[in-house]
Amino acid sequence: MKHYFIVAVILTLAFTSCQNVQKQTVTSDIEFNIQLTDAEKANGVLTEEMMWKFGRVSNPKLSPDGKQILYTVSYYELATNKSRTSLFVVPADGGDAKMALNLAGSQFNQVWISSTEYAFISTHNGATQAYKTTLSGGSVKAITSIDGGIESFKISPDGNSILYAAEVKIGKDFSDTNPDLPLVNAKGYDDLNARHWNHWNDVSYSHIFVAPLSQLPVTKGTDIMENEAWDAPMSPYFDSDEIAWSSDSKSIAYSCKKIMGKDFAVSTNSDIYLYNMNSGETENLTSDNLGFDKYPSFSPDGNYMVWQSMETPGYEADKERLFIMNLNTKKPVYLTEHWDQNVGGFAWDSDSEKLFFISGINATSQIYSINIKTLEIEQYTKGHHDYTSVEVNGDLIVGSKMKHSMATEIFAVSRSTYDEKQLTFTNKPIYDNIEMGKSEERWITTSDGKKMLVWVIYPPKFDPNKKYPTLLYCQGGPQSTVSQFFSFRWNFQIMAAHDYIIVAPNRRGVPSFGAEWNAQISGDYSGQNIQDYLTAIDQIKKEPFVDQTKLGCVGASYGGYSVFYLAGHHEKRFKTFISHCGMYNLESFYGSTEETFFPNHDLGGPFWDKNNKIAQRSYANSPHKFVEKWDTPILIIHGGKDYRIAYTESLQAFTAARLRGLDSRFLLFPEETHFVLKPQNAVLWQREFFGWLDKYLK
501 within 8 A of 537, measured Cβ to Cβ: no
Buried b (16+ CB within 10 A) or exposed e, 643-665: bbbbbebbebbbbbbeeeebebb
Alpha-carbon distance of 67 to 424, in angstroms, equals 15
3-state secondary structure of 563: helix
User: Is 601 known to be catalytic?
Assistant: no
Find, among 160, 154, 331, the residue nearest to 245 by Cα.
154
Beta strand 304-309 with 664-669 is unpaired
Dihedral sign, Cα of residue 276, residue 151, residue 304, residue 306: negative
Element (H, E) at 696: helix 679-697
Q: Is the dihedral of CA 161, 164, 170, 175 positive or negative?
A: negative
d(CA 487, CA 484): 9
> How far is residue 356's CA from residue 613's CA, in Å, rounded to a whole number?
43
CA distance 645 to 668: 13
**549, exposed or middle or buried, with CB in 10 Å at 0-12, 13-18, 19+?**
exposed
Instruction: Give CA 29 to chain center in angstroms.
Output: 32
Q: Is residue 557 among the annotated active site residues?
A: yes
Cβ burial of 84 (10 Å; 0-12, 13-18, 19+) is: buried
Sign of CA dihedral 253, 255, 261, 262: positive
Catalytic site residue from 309, 557, 650, 664: 557
DSSP label of 660: T
3-state secondary structure of 618: helix
Best CA proximity match to 596, nearest among 644, 629, 636, 642:
644
Q: Which of 241, 642, 650, 664 is catalytic?
A: 642
- Distance (Å, whole) CA 441 – CA 460: 16
For the four alpha carbons of 121, 127, 133 and 135, in that order, the dihedral sign comes to negative
Cβ-based neighbours of 57, under 8 Å, separated by 6 or more: 71, 72, 73, 400, 407, 408, 409, 410, 424, 426
279 among known catalytic residues: no
**Catalytic one among 124, 404, 601, 674?**
674
Within 13 A of 691's CA, how many CA atoms are on the CB side?
11
Q: Which residues, including other chains, have CB under 8 Å from residue 399's CB and lie 6 or more apart?
A: 60, 358, 367, 381, 387, 388, 389, 390, 391, 410, 411, 413
Q: Which residues are catalytic?
A: 557, 642, 674
